[in-house]
Structure 1
Amino acid sequence: MNSEQELWRAFQEGDEDAYTGLYRQHLRAMYRYGLSLVSVSEAFVLDCIHDVFTEIWIRRARLSVPENVRHYLLKALKTRMLHLLSRKEKAYMGFSQQEFDELWPEPSAEDLLILNEESRNRTERIGKLIDLLPHRQQEAIRLRFVENLDYGEIGEMLSVNRQSAQNLVFRALEKLRGWLQ
């Protein structure tokens, strides 16, 4: 069992701190994902996220422990959003194709070029900032985000314990955030 699943079990037993921890741990990812599905309304996405967390609190005793908590929450968010959108569509039978298409707009070729250029610039900038980190933090970041290793595996590669591996990645990310701001 990983710590996320342990947090889930504590939440299922009614631990409000664990519930808050799950919310804080997954809010940003859910928000980003929700906006990628429907970029029209941030309020709608936040309402759906809160609906998901309200629903899992109510049903916590009947839920199983998911293998991947983030995957479970993202899937629940998507289901909730699609459900509300389909209800809204049924309530407003006059929902036009144009209005529906505006929910998921197709970017123009120019928009795609601009996005690609911005992405390339961000990638270069982050690469340069990573090069400024101490060697061990650089290695920890690459193992975590390029090689997709978990903290236990990173610790093994760097000959440190799991917590030290987490600390290395956390400190590196904190430095990068500070430099980016």
Structure 2
Amino acid sequence: MPELTPQELWKMFQDGDEEAYTKLYRLYIKDMYRYGSSLVAASDAFVMDCIHDVFTEMWVKRERLSVPVHVKYYLLKALKTRIIHLLERKERPFTPLSEIDLEIFDPEDFEILEELDMAASRQDKLTTLISRLPQRQQEAIKLRFIENLNYSQIGDILQMNTQSAKNLVFRAVEKLRGWIILPVIHFFNIFLG
């Protein structure tokens, strides 16, 4: 049997197919969790509660929902809306990111561990630079390069037109490039100039 598209799964879920509903959940849970965690420094439970709220509401309203062109985009937008709603109501306790337990992968091979450490260091540096960007640029970068959304979808989530979304991502990337390249140029000017 050929693999079903997300839209086909959605139609089946709308008809009350619990297996299709479960497949949609499993297909998008990791993306939703990653995106939700990037939006707020909240506990794992808070993000998962928001995801479950989205899926519960979907089930209740399934017959009235239209089939989205991009299911992932629809779910990420619904999750963001839910998180904002709960934050505005201040219903949930928050845990700083530094207090969240993360599972650590501990390979036995020293070379792999060293490569992972170097990659983590680069990732930390990039994360630090991204955190220096204005909030809207941070979110646009995450939506574009982590969630792989197109500019039209980013614009819709951020409530701006497509061109403004492109400009926002471009300005963020340009700032990051400047922060990365300028210190290198400065280093060469000092020692070679």
TM-score by length of 2: 0.47
Residue 82 of structure 1 corresponds to which residue in structure 2?
84
| CA–CA distance in structure 2, aligned partners of residues 23 and 119 of structure 1 | 30
| CA–CA distance in structure 1, aligned partners of residues 56 and 87 of structure 2 | 19
Query: What is the CA deviation profile of residues 100-124 of structure 1, one whole-angstrom value per residue up to 9, with x for unaligned ones?
Result: xx78xxxxxxxxxx9662479xxxx
**Paired positions, count:** 101
- Matches for 1:15-34 after TM superposition, within 5 Å: 15-34=17-36
Q: Whose RCO is larger (CA < 8 A, sep 6+)?
A: 2
Higher helix share: 1
Q: Secondary structure at the match of 1:72?
A: helix
| CA–CA distance in structure 1, aligned partners of residues 85 and 42 of structure 2 | 16
AA paired with 1:87? R
Aligned identity (percent) is 60
Residue 168 of structure 1 corresponds to which residue in structure 2?
none
| CA–CA distance in structure 2, aligned partners of residues 60 and 119 of structure 1 | 41
Query: What is the CA deviation profile of residues 139-178 of structure 1, one whole-angstrom value per residue up to 9, with x for unaligned ones?
Result: xxxxxxxxx9xxxxxxxxxxxxxxxxxxxxxxxxxxxxxx
Residue 52 of structure 2 corresponds to which residue in structure 1?
50
Residue 66 of structure 1 corresponds to which residue in structure 2?
68
Tell me the CA shift for residue 8 of structure 1: 0.2
AA paired with 2:17? D
Tell me the CA shift for residue 58 of structure 1: 0.1
Tell me the CA shift for residue 71 of structure 1: 0.3
Aligned CA RMSD, in angstroms, stands at: 2.9
What residue ranges of structure 1 are gaps of 5+ in the alignment? 93-98, 104-113, 121-147, 149-181
| CA–CA distance in structure 2, aligned partners of residues 47 and 41 of structure 1 | 10
What residue ranges of structure 2 are gaps of 5+ in the alignment? 98-118, 126-147, 149-193
| CA–CA distance in structure 2, aligned partners of residues 3 and 49 of structure 1 | 21
